[in-house]
Structure formats: structure tokens, C-alpha cells
Amino acid sequence: SSGINAEYGSDDGIVRLFDIRSDQEIAQYSYEYPQAGVSCVDTSLSGRIIFAGYDDFNVILWDTLLGELVAVLSEHGAKVSCLGVDKDGVALCTGSWDNLLKIWN
């Protein structure tokens, strides 16, 4: 979360972005496989990119300015259960039920 916006994902496969000042939803990001729920989310330091981990083993990068999918990270062999951006914004760490942590930069 950027401090101005908050994001969350749910079992319906949609990542929602809210403006916490106005308490309004400002965007939705929907992956092409709606049966894959969102298990975890984080944002880049700037707030432009949302990282979302899905039950279908993928991590999707959403561009909040363009409102579109930027990349799919698909190296895990099971549900992505956690993710986080390092404090310098250089790398993303993802964890999965495949018992692996992966570092992406």
C-alpha cells in the first residue's frame, strides 16, 4: 500500500484498489482465469505496480496507471502464499506452497 491507496485481492480473482481518503474503490484488475483466487498482494514503492499472488501458482504484475497486466511470473509449482517488495524496491520475494522462496529483480 502506498499510504494513499489500499489494495486487496479475494477468492473471486479480482484485485481491488481503494482510495483511503475518499473510501472509494478506484480500480479493479481481473486476471483471465477467474477461478484463481488472489492469495496475497503488495505494491511497488511508487505505488504504480501491484504484485498479486494467485492460487494458480502465478504472480501477476498490474500497472495501476495503465490499468493493465504488465507481466506474469510463473516459476512456482503451487499456490503463491506470500510476497513482498524489499525496502529499496529492487527485488520481489515470493513464497509458495511448493516450499520455495523466489527472489525476482
In the numeric block, which cell numbers belong to residue 22? Answer: 475518499
Structure confidence by residue, pLDDT tens digits, 10-45: 888 899 999 989 989 999 999 776 678 999 999 998
List the one residue out of 54, 41, 71, 48 whose CA is nearest residue 12: 54
**DSSP secondary-structure letter at 53?**
E
Query: Is the model's pLDDT at 3 over the cut of 70?
Result: no
**CA–CA gap between residue 27 and residue 101 (Å, rounded):** 29
With a CB cutoff of 8 Å and minimum separation 6, the contacts of 74 are 57, 58, 59
**DSSP secondary-structure letter at 100?**
-
pLDDT for the residue numbered 101: 95
